[in-house]
Structures are given as C-alpha cells and as structure tokens.
Amino acid sequence: MVSKFDSANSQIISPFLLEGNDGDLSLESRLSELSLYEFSIETNCSTTEVAEVFEKHPLLPGAIVVEQGKYVGMISRKRLLEFLIRPRGQELFSQEPLGVIYSYTRISILLLPQATSVLTAMQIALKRSPDFFYEPIVVEGEDNTYRLLSMQELSTVSWQIRGIETQLRYERSQAQMIQNDKMANLGRLVDGVAHEILDPVNFIWGNLTHVSNYTQDLMSLIATYEQVCASSSPLVETLKQEIEFNFLEEDLVKAIASIRTGAERLKKLVSSLQNFCHIDEVYSKPADLHACINNNILLINSRLKGEIEITTKYGSLPPVYCFVGQLSQVFMNILSHCVDMLLNEAVRQQFDTKSGNSTNVYTKPNIIITTEVISQKIDQHKDNHQKEVEELDSRWVAIRISDNSMGIPQDILQQITDSFSVDNRADKETSLAISYRIVTARHGGKFKLSSEIGFGTEFEILLPLV
C-alpha cells in the first residue's frame, strides 16, 4: 500500500506506518526491519493539504514526492514548515502546488536500499552535513517502493545494536580470559607432568653409560677366563648352552642400544612438550625457530601414522625476537590443519581405489616446511603533505608450510579469510583465526593463506627482523 494524492477526489490518503520488529534486533539488522512510513504525494497537491496531514500526524518525518506515480524526491516536515513560517509564507505558498515549494527546497537526499544494515546506514548518515543531519532517509524497496525512515528511529535502533555489540564483545572477552586462564593452568599442569616424567628418564639415561661399560667389562672378564682356562668344566658348558650365551652376548649390546634410543626419544618428546607448554613472559625474547618447528613436528608425529612425509628445507636464520609459546601454537595449528586435510584425502583415495572409482595416480601426502630471510620493498611517505615516496628495504623471516593436498574450495577459503577480520562477529574463533591474530597483532608480522584446487595449500608467515 502506497499513500498518494488522489487527483480524482482531490484528497490525500493518510500515511501508513509499517511497524518494525525492534524486539528482535541483531548485529545484522537491516533497514527493512525498522518502522517505516509509507506516504507519497503528487506535485500538484496543494501545500495546505500537506501541512494539514503533518499537523494530524506529528511523528511523520516527511513525504515522498511523486509525479504521475513516479518517484521524484522527498520533502521533509522541517523544510515545508520553514517556508510556511516565513513572513507572508502562508499567504504566498499555502495555495501553491507542492511542486513549487519542492523546486525551492531540493537538497541532497540520502537514498538507501532496504537491505542496508542499520550500522552501515548510521555511518553514512553521520557523514552528512550538520544542516541535513535530521533529514529523513528514503528507503528503496525491491518493488520500486519508497518509504521514509526518521533519523530518530535510526539513531535509537543504532544505539541499541551498539549496546548488543558491546555486550557480545564483553562476553567474548570474558570467555577469552577464562579460556586463556584454563590454557595457562593446563600448560603448568602438563609442564609439571613432563618434569616428573623427565626425572626418571634422566635417571635411566644417566645410568645407561655405566650399564654399557659394566657389560663390556663383564664380557671382557668372561673372555679372559676362557683364554686362561684351557678347558672349561662340563657344568659351565651346560649353563652356557642353557642361557644361549653366544646369542646373549650379541643381543645384550643391541638391547642396551635399543634402551638408549628409546630413552633419547622419550627425552626429546618430553622436552618438546615442555617447550610447547612454555608460558611467555611480558616481553619477547630471541628464540630458535627451527627448534620450535622441530618440537612441533615431534609432537604431531603420532598423527602421521607413516602415511604423511614432512620435509624441512631450513635456511640460515638468526635468533628471532618473539613469544615462542604463542608461535608454537601457530605452527601446531597449521600443521594440524594440513595433516587433517591430507589424512582425509588419503582415506578418500583408498575408498575410491577399493570401489574402482579412482582415476588419479596416487601421490604420497607430503608437507614441506621452508624457512629463509627475505627482503621486501616498503613505501614510506616522507611527509604527510608531500607526495614523494621513498622505498625502504625491510628484512623478514619467512616460514612457509605447504602441502600437496587437493586444495581448499573457494567458498571455504573465503570463509577462512573472513574470519581473520577484526570485525568478525563469529561466536567461535577458529584455530587459524587465532593464529592470524598472534602473528599480526602480537608479533607485527604477516599471515598469508593461498590455495588452489589441485595444487595444494600454502601458509606463509612473515616475522620482522628487529
């Protein structure tokens, strides 16, 4: 229903208010959900009749001006009354058609689609000149209908939504603080358990050298006895056969070597676990990124199941000032993401092979980790008022983690990229979004993600060298 001037009956149809659902406001609320006025008048309508309508409806912000049913513009209550309260204004304009006054009051009209979000509309409205700030907004519908939105309504709803947004951010920050506290406590707990495991491992490791030396001495003693004694007693020979002395002599050295290897692996694993649970201090410290990456590879090795190969191509890196505990979390998040994708594709390929639907040649899943120091050109203005630009060399540590998966579909890749935005309002942050914030906000670095179907995925982390 669109109210308009009825030229046949020479009357104006009363304005119609579309009530909005203000009780169901959200951060993504649109203009179509607000209270809008439907009231349009022809340009040949008399000004007096329009003024009478404004008098009967004090909340009506204005009127849509049409000519033979086609949209022309908008005239607000404020502009119309300004003409009528002028000296001799009523005498001059009261009997004139509305089109005459409208020709004198044409101003810049803010016209927005009804799908525009409330917060976006408020930002646009605030950019208007102060003289036009309280002018109503024309909302264009999908069916070429035009409705009026009062600035008071937009301001009220906008502040309500801002309150909702502030509350959500507060709740999210509180949840994040609780989560950080839980992770810190978990890190301390795991570090304590790792320390308790490391003590007996160090005990075993420290005594292995003595056990190995004692074993060699005993074997040398037995060999000397055999050389000195021309003939051994039948009892000794019987015992040597029962215990399989020749096999025992060979296998004992192998058993000690195997214990040494196991203890060494367990020691490295516990040390990696301690480093991963490292609690960063207030200030960054220099760290060996290669050792940090190797610790994460060792921790994630149990998930590879011999199906995924990890190749490292390390360059020469200096110690990098960073929060090593947080970077360990970033590397673990990226490696876990790559491993999940590769394992899922491996299962899919095995299923296709068994069902006879496989047409691709099997390639072993692989993750390649490359590190190097690079230089990049950056532009820096010499002065805020000058257009001259100089190029500066900046040195960065580049860590690239790529896989040979089938890649990430474009729609999912866009969702991941959108989650990196600071204005993201998702209820749950993903591990990659957390990694992005650690690299960019915490370390002043860059976090890049690129993927193409059929050509794998690559994560690139750039950390500035200070």
pLDDT tens-digit readout, 218-244: 888 888 887 777 666 788 788 888 888
Residue 89: the pLDDT is 61
Read off the pLDDT of each residue in 243-264 and give the average, rounded to a whole number: 85
Above 80 in pLDDT, residue 384? no
47 within 8 A of 98, measured Cβ to Cβ: yes
The residue among 393 and 461 whose pLDDT is bigger is: 461
The residue among 193 and 7 whose pLDDT is bigger is: 193
Q: The tokens of 285 are what?
A: 């410290």
Residue 290: the pLDDT is 93
CATH number of 53's domain: 3.10.580.10
415 within 8 A of 430, measured Cβ to Cβ: no
Residue 285 in domain: yes
Residue 391: the pLDDT is 47
Please indicate, yes or no, whether residues 323 and 436 belong to a single structural domain of this protein: yes
Residue 231: the pLDDT is 67
Residue 154 in domain: no
Residue 390: the pLDDT is 45
End-of-domain residue from the set 249, 279, 309: 279
300 closest CA partner among 338, 260, 267: 338
Residue 181: the pLDDT is 67
Whole-model pTM?
0.56
Residue 318 in domain: yes
Q: What is the domain count for the chain?
A: 3
Above 70 in pLDDT, residue 334? yes
102 closest CA partner among 128, 83, 88, 124: 83
Please indicate, yes or no, whether residues 334 and 463 belong to a single structural domain of this protein: yes
Q: For 268-287, what is each residue's pLDDT tens digit?
A: 778 777 777 666 666 788 98
Alpha helices, DSSP H, located in 229-244: 234-242
Contacts with 97 (C-beta within 8 Å, 6 or more apart), sequence order = 43, 44, 45, 46, 47
CATH number of 306's domain: 3.30.565.10
Q: For 393-443, what is each residue's pLDDT tens digit?
A: 588 999 999 998 888 888 888 888 887 775 554 455 678 888 888 898 888
Please indicate, yes or no, whether residues 275 and 289 belong to a single structural domain of this protein: no
End-of-domain residue from the set 81, 115, 149: 149
Residue 102 belongs to domain spanning? 5-149
Please indicate, yes or no, whether residues 290 and 436 belong to a single structural domain of this protein: yes
Please indicate, yes or no, whether residues 125 and 169 belong to a single structural domain of this protein: no
47 closest CA partner among 6, 1, 104, 93: 93
Please indicate, yes or no, whether residues 88 and 73 belong to a single structural domain of this protein: yes
Residue 158 in domain: no
Rounded Cα gap, residues 10 and 49, in angstroms? 10
423 closest CA partner among 437, 442, 438: 437
22 within 8 A of 157, measured Cβ to Cβ: yes
Q: The tokens of 46 are what?
A: 């008399």
Please indicate, yes or no, whether residues 121 and 208 belong to a single structural domain of this protein: no
Residue 156 in domain: no
Residue 312: the pLDDT is 93
Please indicate, yes or no, whether residues 111 and 172 belong to a single structural domain of this protein: no
Residue 157 in domain: no
Rounded Cα gap, residues 462 and 375, in angstroms? 11
Above 70 in pLDDT, residue 387? no
Rounded Cα gap, residues 92 and 71, in angstroms? 26
Read off the pLDDT of each residue in 310-327 and give the average, rounded to a whole number: 90
Q: The tokens of 432 are what?
A: 């990659």
Q: For 71-120, what is each residue's pLDDT tens digit?
A: 888 888 888 877 777 776 666 666 778 777 777 776 778 889 988 988 88
Q: For 4-32, what is each residue's pLDDT tens digit?
A: 444 444 457 778 787 877 667 777 888 88
Residue 159 in domain: no
Please indicate, yes or no, whether residues 402 and 452 belong to a single structural domain of this protein: yes
* DSSP letters for 134-194: TS-EEEE-TTS-EEEE-HHHHHHHHHHHHHHHHHHHHHHHHHHHHHHHHHHHHHHHHHHHH
Please indicate, yes or no, whether residues 267 and 302 belong to a single structural domain of this protein: no
Please indicate, yes or no, whether residues 60 and 169 belong to a single structural domain of this protein: no
Please indicate, yes or no, whether residues 135 and 272 belong to a single structural domain of this protein: no
